[in-house]
């Protein structure tokens, strides 16, 4: 998923995958509203695993001029430049690397994966027992420093994300990937045909095999990572972060200001139309509409648009605005290393005491009336297979919340707050803190509504927010929070959620910052990942989510209504609500 208080990982980090669905049944995320002129489609015809699938964004494009610059406002900076490493999986990083790191499959706006034939000319399952996948790498494919893209890259990227301790990072250190889903099931990766044919053999079947080396798991250059290091070699901007295998390469990065990409002169495919793409960091969302009005930026996609934000951008002449329910959702995580949050009764009490519908009415409804309290973490309401698995666990019931706190060993004080009868807050007001990224007005409103809800049930909430770099680079990964609020951005590959919810003691669970563990969840995830039939896999994933509600592992709030806005002078801009983001086809963007 992925961040800007978004993680991808499935997240906007991160916090960067989600929802295994039959490719034939995937549907478009619709329900968009727009103002201004509409953009021409830039999608290619959906492909599967056969030769001849087209390069994403390369077909059905409107004619555009060659040259020019587009500036995209982003609401957070990056923590590092390795999209596969724990702590770096921010959605903004995924967006910036859409055009610089190669992927086998790219999920289109209709949520169907398409083979990028600029990277591999074919990718197919040639044997079912054991499941064997053969990739034919485009013979022209090279990294921007001249090194060929070959089997060594596939081998290294597998090893780094395998979770197998026998594989080591530079200096003999263990690899620290964000996730291992799918890669941990690979038995071998071998090269032939001069390194341009890759054969992957799995130890057990993997239904989401098209997610391998794809989407938010792009290939990073093995010849660079082997010496620079997977864990540390991409943390700071430098030569390692600049090596590209896509239409664009990173020219410069200035912390807190911008990241600039220019055409990759060594790219073997059709050159990008724009000469330059600038990702400008405007960390306070309310400063983005004025930047558009002043001509400083041409595109926005805020974390979660406020009503003033929507009104402001809709009033800008010659500016296209679309709002779509995304493969993204707001949620709260509980750090179970806290002695009180370790109790499921306390976590359930917090959920029963939170009025999600009020949040939606005040924050979401002005943008979209089709979104309600979320009943599933793994599959969004706009995807096939969605079903609410909460069984009432997310309903608003303050009386039940108070009863659960009493059962947890707390006594209501004369000041209206519960006093624990145990632990570090024994005899004191029961107090917890909530954190999110600073500078986002809507997130502050969520916190304030939550704070008022908790006061009503006798729980004192302190608000402590951080910059995105600190929250996702330190506070989250080191579990230095009590309650944390952000968004996961997902994809049509549900298996990518494993690293978030599987037991934190497992090396496969780098995105589990919450100290959550349930062996039943682990077992069901393993079963789902190895299930080839999409309908059966979806049923198992829904069982997983039911257990997560029973445990109240995390608390989903609502599906995000994503606002996309851009100058109507630019064509071929097509929003993508998965965790690859709107720059998925930025190579086709250009001025009319």
Model's pTM, two decimal places?
Answer: 0.85
Average pLDDT for consecutive 10-residue bins of the chain (592 residues)?
Answer: 42 35 28 33 30 47 94 92 88 95 96 96 97 98 98 98 96 92 96 98 96 94 98 96 98 97 98 98 92 97 91 97 94 98 98 98 94 97 94 96 98 97 97 93 95 98 92 91 94 91 85 95 95 96 98 97 96 94 97 92
Q: What is the pLDDT of residue 57?
A: 54
Question: How many CA atoms lie within 13 Å of 116's alpha carbon, on the beta-carbon side?
Answer: 30
CATH 3.40.190.10 fits 42-302+565-591, yes or no: yes
Q: What is the pLDDT of residue 89?
A: 81
Alpha carbon distance 86, 83 (integer Å): 8
Q: Tell me which CATH code domain 333-374+388-486+496-556 carries.
A: 3.10.105.10
Residue 53's φ and ψ, nearest 5 degrees, are -65, 145
Number of H helices, E strands in the chain: 14, 22
Q: 42-302+565-591 with 333-374+388-486+496-556: one CATH topology?
A: no
Q: What is the pLDDT of residue 300?
A: 98
Alpha carbon distance 252, 262 (integer Å): 9
Q: At which residue do the structure tokens 């597998």 appear?
A: 158
Alpha carbon distance 356, 375 (integer Å): 11
Q: What is the pLDDT of residue 439?
A: 82
Q: What is the DSSP string of 526-571?
A: HHHHT--SHHHHHHHHHHHHHHHHHHT-EEEEEEEEEEEEEETTEE
576, two tokens: 């993508």
Q: What is the DSSP string of 17-59?
A: ------GGG-------EEESPPPPP-PPPP--SSTTPPPTT-S
Nearest one of 19, 18, 14 to 91, comparing CA atoms:
14
Task: Locate the domains of the chain by residue range.
Answer: 42-302+565-591, 333-374+388-486+496-556
Nearest one of 311, 352, 280, 286 to 92, comparing CA atoms:
280
Give the C-alpha distances (Å, rounded to integers) separating 5 from 78, 471, 507, 509, 586.
12, 8, 24, 20, 23
Q: What is the pLDDT of residue 90?
A: 85
Alpha helices in 257-366 (DSSP H): 288-293, 307-314, 344-352, 356-359
Q: What is the pLDDT of residue 54?
A: 52
568, two tokens: 């109507």
For the chain, how big is the Rg over CA atoms in Å? 23
Q: What is the pLDDT of residue 521?
A: 97
Alpha carbon distance 540, 533 (integer Å): 11
Residue 189's φ and ψ, nearest 5 degrees, are -135, 120
* Strands (DSSP E) found in 383-540: 410-412, 418-420, 431-435, 460-463, 483-489
Contact between 379 and 385 under an 8 Å Cβ cutoff? The reply is yes
Strand partners, 487: 6, 330
The length of the chain is 592
Q: What is the pLDDT of residue 28?
A: 26
Alpha carbon distance 12, 396 (integer Å): 27
52, two tokens: 């001849």
């Amino acid at each position: 998923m992925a961040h800007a208080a978004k993680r991808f990982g499935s997240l906007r980090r991160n916090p960067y995958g989600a929802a295994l669905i039959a490719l034939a049944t995937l549907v478009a995320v619709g329900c968009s509203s727009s103002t201004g002129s509409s953009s021409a489609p830039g999608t290619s015809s959906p492909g599967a695993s056969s030769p001849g699938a087209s390069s994403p964004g390369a077909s059905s494009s409107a004619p555009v001029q060659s040259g020019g610059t587009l500036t995209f406002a982003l609401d957070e900076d990056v923590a590092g430049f390795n999209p596969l490493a724990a702590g770096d999986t921010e959605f903004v990083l995924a967006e910036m690397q859409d055009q610089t790191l190669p992927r086998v499959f790219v999920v289109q706006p209709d949520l169907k994966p398409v083979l990028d034939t600029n990277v591999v000319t074919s990718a197919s399952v040639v044997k079912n027992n054991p499941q064997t996948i053969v990739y034919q790498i485009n013979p022209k494919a090279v990294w921007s420093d001249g090194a060929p893209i070959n089997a060594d890259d596939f081998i290294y990227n597998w090893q780094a994300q395998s979770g197998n301790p026998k594989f080591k990072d530079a200096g003999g250190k263990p690899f620290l990937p964000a996730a291992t889903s799918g890669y941990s099931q690979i038995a071998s990766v071998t090269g032939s045909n001069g390194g341009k044919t890759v054969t992957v053999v799995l130890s057990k079947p993997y239904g989401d095999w098209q997610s391998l080396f794809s989407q938010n798991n792009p290939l990073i250059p093995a010849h660079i990572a082997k010496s620079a290091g997977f864990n540390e070699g991409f943390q700071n901007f430098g030569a390692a972060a600049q090596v590209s295998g896509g239409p664009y390469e990173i020219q410069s990065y200035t912390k807190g200001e911008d990241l600039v990409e220019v055409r990759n002169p060594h790219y073997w495919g059709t050159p990008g139309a724009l000469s330059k793409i600038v990702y400008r960091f405007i960390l306070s969302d309310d400063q983005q509409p004025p930047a558009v009005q002043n001509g400083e930026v041409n595109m926005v996609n805020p974390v979660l648009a406020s009503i003033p934000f929507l009104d402001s951008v809709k009033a800008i002449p010659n500016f296209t605005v679309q709002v779509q329910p995304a493969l993204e959702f707001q949620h709260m995580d509980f750090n179970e290393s806290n002695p009180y949050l370790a109790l499921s009764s306390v976590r359930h009490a917090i959920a029963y005491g939170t009025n999600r519908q009020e949040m939606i009415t005040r924050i979401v409804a002005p943008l979209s009336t089709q979104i309600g309290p979320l009943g599933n973490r793994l599959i969004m309401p706009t995807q096939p297979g969605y079903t609410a698995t909460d069984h009432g666990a997310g309903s608003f019931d303050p009386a039940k919340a108070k009863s659960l706190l009493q059962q947890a060993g707390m006594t209501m004080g004369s000041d209206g707050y519960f006093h624990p009868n145990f632990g570090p807050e024994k005899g004191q007001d029961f107090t917890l803190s909530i954190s999110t990224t600073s500078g986002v007005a809507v997130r502050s409103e969520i916190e304030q509504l939550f704070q008022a809800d908790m006061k009503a049930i006798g729980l004192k909430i302190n608000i402590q927010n951080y910059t995105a770099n600190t929250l996702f680079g330190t506070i989250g990964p080191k579990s230095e929070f009590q309650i944390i609020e952000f968004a996961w951005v997902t994809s049509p590959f549900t298996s990518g959620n494993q690293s978030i919810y599987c037991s934190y003691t497992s090396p496969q669970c780098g995105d589990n910052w919450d100290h959550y563990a349930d062996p039943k969840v682990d077992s069901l995830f393993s079963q789902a990942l190895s299930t080839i039939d999409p309908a059966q896999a979806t049923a198992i994933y829904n069982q997983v989510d039911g257990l997560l509600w029973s445990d109240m592992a995390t608390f989903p709030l609502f599906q995000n209504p994503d606002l996309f806005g851009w100058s109507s002078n630019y064509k071929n801009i097509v929003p993508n609500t998965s965790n690859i983001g709107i720059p998925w086809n930025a190579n086709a963007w250009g001025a009319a």
